[in-house]
Amino acid sequence: MPSIRKYTKDFGYSYSFGVFPTLELLTHRPEHVIKVVISPKGYKNHGIEEIQLLARKNHIEIEKSEGIVEKISGSENTYCFGIFKKFENHIEKNTQHVILVSPSDMGNLGTIMRTSLGFGYKDVVIIKPAADIFDPRTVRASMGSLFTIRFQYFSTFKDYQQQFPEQHLYSFMKDAKVSLEEASFEKPFSLIFGNESSGLSGEFRSVGTSIAIPQTKLVDSLNLSIAVGVGLFEAQRKAL
List contacts with a copy of itself (CB under 8 A).
20, 107, 111, 114-115, 117-120, 141, 143, 145, 148, 181, 213, 215-216, 218-223, 225-226, 229-230, 233-234, 237
- Residue 38 Cβ, how far from a copy of itself at the closest point, in Å? 21
CA–CA gap between residue 101 and residue 120 (Å, rounded): 20
CA–CA gap between residue 142 and residue 135 (Å, rounded): 11
Closer to a copy of itself at the Cβ: 4 or 235?
235
CA–CA gap between residue 69 and residue 189 (Å, rounded): 42
CA–CA gap between residue 162 and residue 144 (Å, rounded): 30
Closer to a copy of itself at the Cβ: 4 or 105?
105
Closer to a copy of itself at the Cβ: 108 or 154?
108
- Phi (first) and psi of residue 157, to 5 degrees: -65, -35
Closer to a copy of itself at the Cβ: 120 or 156?
120
- Residue 131 Cβ, how far from a copy of itself at the closest point, in Å? 15
Write the DSSP assignment of 54-89 as a string of letters.
HHHHTT-EEEE-HHHHHHHH--TT--EEEEEE----
